[in-house]
Structure 1
Amino acid sequence: MDAREMAKIVCKALDDKKAIDIKAIDISNISIMADYFIVASASNQNQLNAMQDEVDRLLYEQGIHAKSIEGNRQSTWVLMDYEDVIVHLFSEEDRLFYDLERIWKDGILIDAKDL
């Protein structure tokens, strides 16, 4: 499965769990670490955990396993590394603080609906 298809699955999982402001950043031309960053916010801890579980479940069903997951059930920022696609899940406050969209502004920002 290519990175764009993986990113689509991630965005669908996040949308299913009502994630806030899902964005995909195509970093394939500016970084060797991955092809896409997916960034989304949750309004509370339970939603953040549900988003993480759904992403992991849908990719696992496709035979794709996380290389690593940083953060735990109480974290306000979870990083899920699927090699070609890296998923960043934030509380709304942490997302504003870290502002990954600004840091990776040289990438191509794609609305999740356009994948």
Structure 2
Amino acid sequence: MTNIFAPPNTLSPTCFACGNIEAAAVDAAEAGNMHAAAVLFRQAAHRAHFFNERRSDLLESLAQCLLEDDDASGAIEAASEAVQLSPSWGSAWLTLARAFLNGGRFGEG
């Protein structure tokens, strides 16, 4: 059975540098610095995209950090892209729903 809450993407050797940025983003988030974490997750997502690897897990993490940093519209954008990339990933949908709710846009999406 497929775990709909497991991230659908894994880090490939082509995008090894993304892993270093991602690790720094996770560290920042765990330290409670959501703004820095969001900046780093965004950088990792852009770097992955540069290597033609669009990673929904990075975008979903970015959306969560943006939500914690009170940027619901940015979170909606990031979570929407994560859902488009991995439409069967339940966590991305939950983050998108939370972003709509926090942004006062309940009923949209």
- Smaller-chain TM-score range? 0.3 to 0.5
Bigger fraction of residues in helix: 2
TM-score, structure 2 normalization: 0.37
Higher RCO (CA < 8 A, seq sep 6+): 1
TM-score, structure 1 normalization: 0.35
